[in-house]
Amino acid sequence: MNLDNLARIDLNLLVTLQVLLEEQSVTRAANRLHLSQSALSKSLNRLRDTLDDPLFQRTAHGLKPTAHALALGKLLPQALQNLYQLTQPPSFEPASSQRHFALAMVESAYETLIPYFIGPLLQQAPKLKLDAYGWNEKSIYDLQHGQIDFGIAGRDIHPQSQFKADDLADGLEYQTLFNDKQVCLVRQNHPILQAISRGDWDKEAYLALSHVQVRCEGNDWWALDYFLANTNHHRRISTTVPDFYGAASICAHTDLIFTLPSSFAHHAQNLYSLVQIPLPFEFMPMAYVLLWHERNNQEPGHKWVREMISNSIPKALVLAAH
């Protein structure tokens, strides 16, 4: 390493480059960096001179990175995270910390988990700030690039294997919080309840019903639908909605059936007159997993928050079952 050459580089320019790569717009990047567009353009020119590459080409749709800029974009997040860690204290004191953490989680886990770790976490770290967001198709990217610190997502488990770490995107670590299974909800006095009481509840009866489905991570199909499709079976999904409570409400006021994780079914039944019935065929369980990037494995604050989340699970599951 040539430290003399490194000393001539304004490291703030690396932050500018990272934001430009993320936004691919001078206007949006300037707003994020609280700079004028003129000042940002000057920084971009300095970057071009320093790195001896144009870095971006202007197009009708914004800035298009060059091949060299894209290559740098793969290295920058980790490099900037390492520089950031150098500026942080070597320890984490919950009582005095003013750290800011961001968490994305699937809606079906909100009611089951978040009430039981937010309270203890803020009791011990009253100045800490935690921003929670809904899990979506961009959350994995945000974890990889440091836009969020933690994710809680649901993943289906193959019957012959545990949740595999190599199923994850590059650089991500995970911890299984708890396993769950799929169940069904129908309204009180739904016609299918009489059939079930007679023992007429099987895959054919299930598929004959109309279903309400929650769109997850931008997908209309769940793993259950792909599982059924493998044997040329398909659910008749009459309504697709963006959230679980919306689906539960529709289920309570129609003859649609709602298939969902059992841990959320209890919360839905507390709000609506719904009856829980089993899925009438064998299907793989699912796991709720806590996700983070490996760059934060040993970071004290991250480790503390992860422990607070995992320590809340036993109490959350006991209360969710009642």
* Whether 163 and 202 share a structural domain: no
Name residue, tokens 């009438």.
280
Which residues are within 8 A (CB) of 60 and not within 5 positions of it... i.e. 6 or more apart? none
> Does residue 11 register a pLDDT over 90?
no
* Inter-residue long-range contacts of 44-47, CB under 8 Å, 24+ positions, other chains counted: 44/16, 44/20, 46/10, 46/13, 47/13, 47/16, 47/17
221 plus 234 within the same structural domain: yes
Domain that holds residue 162: 100-180+287-320
Is residue 297 very low, low, confident or very high in pLDDT (cuts 50, 70, 90)?
very high
Does residue 91 sit within a domain?
no
Residue 21 lies in a domain: yes
- Provide the pLDDT for residue 322: 57
| 107 and 173 both lie in a single domain | yes
Digit-coded pLDDT (tens) for 51-103:
999 999 999 888 999 999 999 999 999 888 888 877 776 678 999 999 999 99
Domain final residue, candidates 86, 120, 148 = 86
With b for 16 or more beta-carbon neighbours within 10 A and e for fewer, the 18-31 pattern comes to bbbbbbbebeebbe
Instruction: Identify any residues that bridge with 182 across adjacent strands, giving them in sequence order.
Output: 261
What CA–CA distance (Å, rounded) separates 26 from 37? 6
pLDDT tens-digit map of 251-260: 999 999 999 9
CB of 208 closer than 8 Å to CB of 299: no
Domain contains 315: yes
Residue type, 225: D
Dump pLDDT digits (tens) for 176-208: 999 999 999 999 999 999 999 999 999 999 999
Greatest CA separation found in the chain? 83
Do 305 and 157 share a domain, yes or no?
A: yes
Residue 94 lies in a domain: no
Residue 321 in tokens: 């079952």
For residue 191, the domain's CATH number is 3.40.190.10
- 295 and 160 co-located in one domain: yes
CATH value at residue 76 = 1.10.10.10
Q: Residue 140 falls within a domain, yes or no?
A: yes
The answer as to whether 92 is a domain residue is no
The pTM of this model reads 0.67
190 and 61 belong to one structural domain? no
Alpha-carbon distance values, 38 to 26, 43, 44, 46, 50 (Å)? 9, 9, 10, 13, 18
Check whether residue 162 and residue 195 sit in a common domain: no
Q: Read off the pLDDT band of 232 (50, 70, 90).
A: very high
Is residue 254 domain-resident? Answer: yes
Report strand pairing: 150-156 vs 100-105. Answer: parallel
Residues 239 and 196 in one domain: yes
For residues 243 and 315, state if they share a domain: no
Q: Are residues 162 and 202 in the same domain?
A: no
Measured in degrees and rounded to the nearest 5, phi and psi for residue 261 equal -65, 140
In a domain? residue 65: yes
Both 66 and 121 in a single domain?
no
Q: Tokens at residue 126, please?
A: 């009253």
Domain total for the chain? 3
User: Are residues 278 and 198 part of one domain?
Assistant: yes
